[in-house]
Amino acid sequence: MSHRWACLIGQPVAHSLSPTLHNAAFAALGMDAHYEARDVSAEDLVDAVAALRQFDCLGANVTAPHKQAVLALMDDLSDEVVALGALNTIVNQSGRLIGANTDARGLARWMRQIGIDPAGRPALVLGAGGAARATVWALADLGASSVRVLNRTLEHAQSLVEALGPSLSMTTLSYGSLAEAAERPAAPWPIVVNATSLGHHGLAPVVHPGCYSPACVAIELAYNPPETGFMVAARRAGARAENGLGMLLHQAALAFERWTGQAAPMDAYAAALTERVAHP
């Protein structure tokens, strides 16, 4: 078997943890393969995607700003990509390019693994961007009875609910303004997810302490910094709080599994991340 490769397509890509994770996984499994980050402009996107059809290419990850633009360049799309309108993973199947979204399935798999069970319960999602879409899909996939989406720009929350509602018919979706999160709710929420990008910028949405209880799990999708104001406030109000590192690792693992047909070595991922944090 010749040397194989996979890559990240985006702009910028220098900050990405994906090369660290996937190269550690290839090494741990003794695979003759490497992963590289490719800084690709919108003008170069068609050529960059065409290169993925080469016989020695396993596939790619796709990040901002190309997650929607690549859809038209795929030969086939998975169900969740059709529902979400964005992909983050491309699989090269003998020259045919398949688009997948492992953010949604990665979040669902991580929640299942650490015992967060939305089945039959309502959930609150703050934000209405790409990560919020993946979150709503994951919560519905795990059987949440309803999901309320609150966002700064009301129209974006409305678009999310209108786009996903038809394909998630077992879960009731509704939306409102982010300001609603600061008001006392009728009852605490079992699950609250911060899918705004505030945490990534060292900020936090205002959430009324009455949204939380000791039975609540608050999930911050950002993982850098590892402890955000959203998590601190949720813990202070009695809830369990988690950051987005588990989602990151599981979306990477699902992509790795789709490319190689092998389970991703999660311990190698964790060790590589620890090393990267110690020597950024």
Instruction: Point out which residues bind ligand NAP (CB under 6 A).
Output: 103, 127-132, 151-153, 156, 178, 195-200, 221-223, 244, 247-248, 251
Nearer to ligand NAP, 4 or 269 (CB): 269
Of 276, 255, 280, nearest in space to 109 by CA = 255
Q: What is the Cα–Cα distance from 131 to 279, expressed in whole angstroms?
A: 28
Q: What is the Cα–Cα distance from 193 to 215, expressed in whole angstroms?
A: 14
**Catalytic option among 4, 67, 133, 258:** 67
Instruction: Identify the DSSP state of 237.
Output: T
Nearer to ligand NAP, 57 or 198 (CB): 198
State the nearest-atom distance from the C-beta of 110 to ligand NAP, in Å: 9
Residue 238 is encoded by which pair of tokens? 């009695």
State the nearest-atom distance from the C-beta of 140 to ligand NAP, in Å: 17
Report the DSSP pairing between strands 240-242 and 217-220. Answer: parallel
Q: What is the Cα–Cα distance from 278 to 152, expressed in whole angstroms?
A: 36
Residue closest to ligand NAP, measured at CB: 129
Nearer to ligand NAP, 161 or 198 (CB): 198
State the nearest-atom distance from the C-beta of 47 to ligand NAP, in Å: 25
Q: Checking phi first, is residue 95 left (phi over 0); if not, alpha (psi -120 to 50) or beta?
A: left
Is 6 within 8 Å of 60 (Cβ atoms)?
yes
State the nearest-atom distance from the C-beta of 271 to ligand NAP, in Å: 19
Confirm whether 276 is a catalytic residue.
Answer: no
Residue 52 is encoded by which pair of tokens? 């993925």
Nearer to ligand NAP, 17 or 57 (CB): 17
Nearer to ligand NAP, 78 or 102 (CB): 102
Q: What is the Cα–Cα distance from 161 to 136, expressed in whole angstroms?
A: 9
Letter string b/e over residues 218-252, b meaning 16 or more CB atoms within 10 A of that residue's CB:
bbbbbbeeeebbbbebbeebebbbbbbbbbbbbbb
Of 250, 242, 277, nearest in space to 266 by CA = 250
State the nearest-atom distance from the C-beta of 56 to ligand NAP, in Å: 28
Catalytic residues, which ones? 67
